Chain A
Amino acid sequence: MTKEELTEYIKDNFSGEPEVIENDQPEPYFIVKAEDVVAFSRFIHDDPKLQMTFMMSLSGVDTGERYEIVYNICSYRLKHRVFFKTILNHEKPEVDTVLDIWPAANWYEREVWELFGITIRNHPNLTRFLLPEDWDEGFPMCKGWVGKDVIPFPERK
C-alpha cells in the first residue's frame, strides 16, 4: 500500500481517532492517545491488510513540556511501515506495555522507564539494566537534568 492508502485504511478501520501528522517521509505518522496505544497496536498487528509484525524501534522523547513515545513498526511481508507516537504529560507519564504484541518492546520499554522515568504499566520486569545498579540521580535523558558528576560543556567563545 502507498502512504495515502495506508493512512486512509488505518483511519477508516481503527475505532479510535488517530491524528495524522503531515510529513514528507514515505511513512504515515499518527498521534495516538495514550489509552489507545494497545488497541491501536493490536489492530495494526492483527489486521490482515496491515500485518505489522515487526517492531523496529521504540524511543522516548522529552521535549521539555511533554513526553512522547515513538513507535516505529513495519511489516516484512507486505513491505510497508508506519510510525506513531503517543503524548504523555509531565505530571503522570504512564502508558501500557505493548510487550505481548511485539516481544521486541521488552528492553525498549525498560530503557524508556529507566532513562525517562515513564511508567510502563503491566510490564513484567521493569528493572535497571543500563545505569549502575546503585544509581539514585534520577532520569538522565530528561531535559534539564543535571547529575552531580556531569561536567558541562564549556561555552564556545
Chain B
Amino acid sequence: MGIIKKLPVYAEKIPGGGLVTTSLNSAFTLTQAKSLWYFLFGTACCAIELMATGASRYDFDRLGMIFRASPRQSDLLIVAGTITLKMAPVVKRLYEQMAEPRYVLAMGGCAIGGGPFYYDSYAVLKGIDKIIPVDVYVPGCPPRPEALLQGCLEVGKKIRTLKMDDWS
C-alpha cells in the first residue's frame, strides 16, 4: 500500500492534482468494494446460511465475492457462528493475519452478542466486538441470505465512503 498511499499526497501538490486524487480515490474504492473476497469462517449453524448464500441460489459471486480459505488472501472476515472462549484467541489471530485494508462482518446473534448463549453460559464469548473491531452487524438467528447479502453491500458502501488516506 505504501506507494498508493503516498500518491495523493504528491498528486495534490501539482496544479489540478485534486482531480487526479479524487478520481483515483473513486477508482480504488470502487474496485475494492466490488471485489470483496471473504474469509470462510463458520463455527456454528450460521455457517450453513453462509454456505447457502455462497452457493448458486443466492450467488455471492455476482457481487464479486469469492471465498478464500486463507486469511492472507481475504479482505472481509465473515464471522458466522458461536465463538467460544477457546476459539476467541484464534479469531483474533486470524484477524491479525489478514492483509490491510480489512473488514469484519459479524453474522448472527452469537457473533454480535452471544445470542442464545448469552445467559448461563460459561463457554461463549459475548460478542466478537470484545476482541476485534466490527464494521457491519447482521442480526438474526440465523440471518436470511438476503440479510447477509445486504450486509455485504453495506460493507461495500462503507468502503466507498473512505478516503485513500484512511487506508492504513
Contacts and interface: CB of A to CB of B under 8 A. Distances in A.
A15 to B, nearest CB: 42
Nearest to B121: A150
Interface string B112-151: 0000001111110010000000000000000000000000
Contacts of A137: 122
B119 A152 contact: yes
B119 A151 contact: yes
Given A130-B86, A132-B85, A132-B86, A151 B122 contact: no
A64 to B, nearest CB: 17
Interface residues of B, number: 10
Contacts, number: 28
Contacts of A132: 85-86, 88
A109 B121 CA distance: 22
Q: Dominant SS at the B interface?
A: loop
Nearest to B125: A149
B114 to A, nearest CB: 8
B86 to A, nearest CB: 5
B118 A151 contact: yes
Contacts of A133: 86
Contacts of A154: 119
Contacts of B123: 130-131, 140
Interface string A123-156: 0000000111100010010000101011111100
